[in-house]
Chain A
Amino acid sequence: MWNYTDKVLDHFHNPRNYGEIPNADATGEVGSMACGDALRLTLKIDKQTEKILDAKFQTFGCGSAIASSSAMTEMIKGMSLEEAGKITNAEISKFLGGLPPEKMHCSVMGKEALEAAIANYKGIKIEKDEEEGRLVCRCFGVTEDKIQKLAIENNLHNVEDITNYTKAGGGCGACLQDIQDILDAVWNNKKEKNSEGASVKTEKPAEAKKLTTIQKIKLIEETLEKIIRPSLNQDGGDIELIDVDKNKIIVKLLGMCSHCPSSSFTIKSFVETKLKEFVSPDIEVVEENNND
C-alpha cells in the first residue's frame, strides 16, 4: 500500500476539473496507455489577457496520477500562461503534501501536459523524434534532455531518483549505466573516459570486414538472436527478419513492439546500432510497411 497523503486521497476520490473542454483553446497530451499513465489537458484561454479561464483533465493512471492531474488544474486556473509555464513538478507535488518517491513521475506528467498545452496554444509543434534529443530509455521513451532537465530542476543525483521521476531505467534496465553517465556529466563528476570505458560492450564476433551475402545474413540473424531479441522479449516484443537488400535490412516488429509508441525509436536507436556494431557500419534498418 502506498503512503498517500490525505490531500492526494482527496484529489483522487474527488477529482476536480475532470473531463474535456469543448472547443478548447489549447490541448496537451502526454504519456500513453502502454506506459501505464497518460494525461490529456484542455484549456480555455482569454485571448486578450492570456489568462487560463478553465482547465480540465482526463487521466489514465494510478491514484497519484489522477490526484496530480486534479491538483495541477486547480493550481493553474486563473493564472496567466506565463505564470502557469513556470510551475514545476515539485510545486504540484508540494500542493498535494508530497508524493511517495516512486510516484514523482506522476507530478512530472502533470507538468509536461501543461507544457504541451502551452506549446499547443502558441502554435509550437514539438517534434517528438527530433527536438527532445537522444533517446536513453527505450522502454518508456525518455530522452537525455529530459533526464538532464529534471536532474537539475529537482537536484537529483541518483539513478533511482531519475527512475522515480521519469520512469527511465524502470523497464529492462539496459540504460541504467547510461543514466549514471548523464548524471555524472550533469554534476561535473566526469569519469575517466578512456580506459575503463563507461558503456558495457559485448564482445564483437571476430572480424566483420568483407562478408559474403550468406555470411552477412548469418551474422545478422546471430545478432538478432543473441543481442537484440532477448532485449525485446523482455518487453513482450519480438523481431522478425524479413529481407536483406544489400545494406538495407527489412524487419518486422512483433508482439508488444508492434504497437509500442516508441517502436520507431526501438528500430533506429537499438536494432540499427547493434547491427552496425556487430555486422557492418553501413547498415540501415527499415520496418516492414504493415499496419496490422
Chain B
Amino acid sequence: MINKAIYVDNNATTPVAPEVYKEMIPYLTEYYANPSSIHTFGGQLASKIDEARQKMASLLGALATEIVFTSCGTESDNAAILGILSSNPSKKHIITTKVEHPAILNLCQHLEKNGYDVTYLGVDKKGAISFDELHKSLRHDTAIVSVMYANNETGVIFPVEEIGRMVKSRGAMFHVDAVQAIGKIPIDLSKSSIDLLSLSGHKLHAPKGVGVLYIRRGTMIRPFIIGGHQERGRRAGTENIASICALGKAAELANQNIAAENDKVRKMRDRLEKSILETIPYTFVNGDTVNRLPNTTNISFEFIEGESILLLFDQHGICASSGSACTSGSLQPSHVLRAMGVPFTAAHGSIRFSLSRYNTDSEIDKILEVLPAIIKKLRAISPYTPKN
C-alpha cells in the first residue's frame, strides 16, 4: 500500500481530519452501546448524537430537528427525491439538470421507467442553466426540482437561491445536492428557498459512510428506509454513532475555518491553474472560472488523453482525476463536459485537480515541475500534435 501521495483529488474524497479521527475513537472502543437503549450506558450516547446534530445545524444555519443523519450523499439524494414523490402521489414530474451526479441522474432515469416524467435542463458553455428553460419546464404536476449546488467535475456553482425562488413560486419542492459545496461555501438555510439538502461526510474530512439530509421543518416527506424509530422516524437503522460524532466534529472545524481555509486553498488552486495555462500550450479551463468552488480546476490538455496523463502522474504519486472515457470504465467521456459542449477531443484530455486544506505549496510546486514533461511526452507520441 502506498500513502506518500500528493493528493489533489479531494472532490472524490478527502482525508479524515486528525481531530475528527480522535473524536470517533471512543465510540469504536469503550462506548459501544446502542443510543436507543434505556440503560445509562447506551442512553448517554443519544446526547452525543444531539451534540453532533447541533454542530451540523450550526454549519448549515438550520435547526437541529431539521438534520437527519444518513449513510452517504447518495442515500440522502434517494431519500429526498423518493420521499417527496411518495408523499405527493399525484405529481409525476421531476426537473433536474444534465450535469448532476449519477446519484441523481441514474435515479431519475430509473424513475422514468416507472411512470415519471423527467426534464433534464441543459447547460451552456460555462456550465450554467437557463432560468427561462427552468421557468418553461415547471408544471402544475412538478413534484420536485433537484439541482446540485456545485458541480463535482468543474466546481461550477449554480445560483441555487434564485433557482429555489422560482421553484417555490410554482409550488414544487426544491432539493439541492450540496455534497461538493458544504465546507467550501458558507450557507444559511434559515434564509433559504431550499427545502431539502444532501451532504456527505467524506467530502469534508469526516469518514466515508455518513451523510446528512436536511429537511426543512414542515416538509411532508415519507421515510426512505423504514424500520425503527431512529432519527424521529425519518431514517430507520441503528445510528452510526462514531461516524455521526465524527461528522459533527468535521462540521465544527469547517464552521470555524471556512473563510481562512478557502482563501488558502483558492490561492494554491489559482497558482496551479495560472502556471499550467502559462507554461503549457493548448490548454484551457472547462467551466465558469468565476462562479466556481475555490478548490477545483478542470483543465483540458489538447491532443492527448486523460488516462495516460493520470498514469504518468501516478509515477510521481500525484492523484488527480479525468473526464476521459478510458478512466470511467464507460466508453463515453464525462457527461458534464459533453453537456457543456466541450469538444469530445478536449473532454478526453481533461484533468480535474481538486485541493483541500491539507495540500501545501510545495505539492503544487511538484505538480508544476513534472507536468510539462508529461504533456510533452504524450504529445510526442500523439498523431495530433499541432505541427504548424
Contacts and interface: CB of A to CB of B under 8 A. Distances in A.
16 contacts: A13-B315, A19-B380, A29-B383, A33-B348, A34-B344, A34-B345, A36-B305, A37-B326, A57-B381, A60-B382, A62-B308, A63-B308, A66-B308, A140-B331, A235-B338, A255-B341
Interface stretch (A122-130, A163-171, A176-184): A163-171
Contacts of B381: 15, 18, 57-59, 66
Interface in A57-108: 57-63, 65-66, 102
Nearest to A36: B325
Interface of B: 303-305, 307-308, 311-312, 315, 324-327, 329-333, 338-339, 341, 343-345, 348, 380-384
Interface in A11-38: 12-13, 15, 18-19, 29, 33-38
Nearest to B385: A58
Nearest to A260: B344
Contacts of A251: none
Contacts of A65: 305, 326
Given A61-B305, A236-B339, A40 B331 contact: no
A60 B385 CA distance: 9
Given A13-B315, A34-B344, A236-B339, A170 B382 contact: no
A19 to B, nearest CB: 8
A136 B353 CA distance: 37
B232 to A, nearest CB: 41
B344 A256 contact: yes
Contacts of A13: 312, 315
A62 B331 contact: no
A47 B311 CA distance: 40
Contact of B344 (A19, A57, A236): A236
B49 to A, nearest CB: 36
Contacts of A255: 341
Interface in A209-235: 235
Given A12-B311, A37-B305, A39-B383, 15 more contacts: A12-B308, A13-B312, A15-B381, A33-B303, A36-B325, A36-B333, A58-B382, A62-B326, A63-B308, A63-B311, A63-B326, A102-B329, A235-B338, A236-B338, A255-B341
A171 B332 contact: yes
Contacts of A34: 344-345
Contacts of B311: 9, 12, 63
A161 to B, nearest CB: 14
Contacts of A60: 303-305, 382-384
B384 A38 contact: yes
A170 B332 contact: yes
Nearest to B325: A36
A170 B330 CA distance: 7
A34 B384 CA distance: 12
Instruction: List 7 tightest A-B contacts by C-beta distance, closest first.
Output: A170-B331, A58-B383, A62-B326, A62-B307, A33-B345, A40-B383, A236-B338
A204 B380 CA distance: 53
Nearest to A37: B305
Q: Which residue, of B329, B341, B382, has the highest number of chain A Cβ atoms within 10 A?
A: B382
B325 A236 contact: no
B339 A62 contact: no
A9 B308 CA distance: 11
Nearest to A106: B326
Given A36-B348, A62-B308, A163 B303 contact: no
Contacts of A59: 381-383
A180 B5 CA distance: 44
Contacts of B308: 12, 61-63, 66
Contact of A236 (B326, B331, B341): B341
B316 to A, nearest CB: 12
B319 to A, nearest CB: 10
B44 to A, nearest CB: 43
A33 B382 CA distance: 10
A29 B383 CA distance: 10
A63 B304 CA distance: 11
B91 to A, nearest CB: 23
Nearest to A61: B305
Contacts of A38: 383-384
A84 to B, nearest CB: 20
A33 B306 CA distance: 12
A34 B383 CA distance: 13
Q: Which residue, of B339, B343, B344, B380, has the highest number of chain A Cβ atoms within 10 A?
A: B344
Q: Which residue, of A13, A36, A63, A140, has the highest number of chain B Cβ atoms within 10 A?
A: A36
Contacts of B341: 236, 255-256
A163 B332 CA distance: 12
Contacts of A171: 331-332
Contacts of A236: 338-339, 341, 344
A236 B336 CA distance: 10
A33 B384 contact: yes
Interface string A108-150: 0000000000000000000000000000000110000000000
Contact of A63 (B307, B331, B348, B382): B307
B315 A61 contact: no
A260 to B, nearest CB: 8
Nearest to A102: B329
B350 to A, nearest CB: 12
A34 B381 CA distance: 17
Nearest to B327: A62
Contacts of B331: 36, 140, 163, 167, 170-171
A139 B325 CA distance: 13
A194 to B, nearest CB: 28
B385 to A, nearest CB: 8
Contacts of B383: 29, 38-40, 58-60
A36 to B, nearest CB: 5
A215 B344 CA distance: 37
Contacts of B344: 33-36, 236, 256
A35 B384 CA distance: 14
Contacts of A139: 332
A87 to B, nearest CB: 21
A67 to B, nearest CB: 10
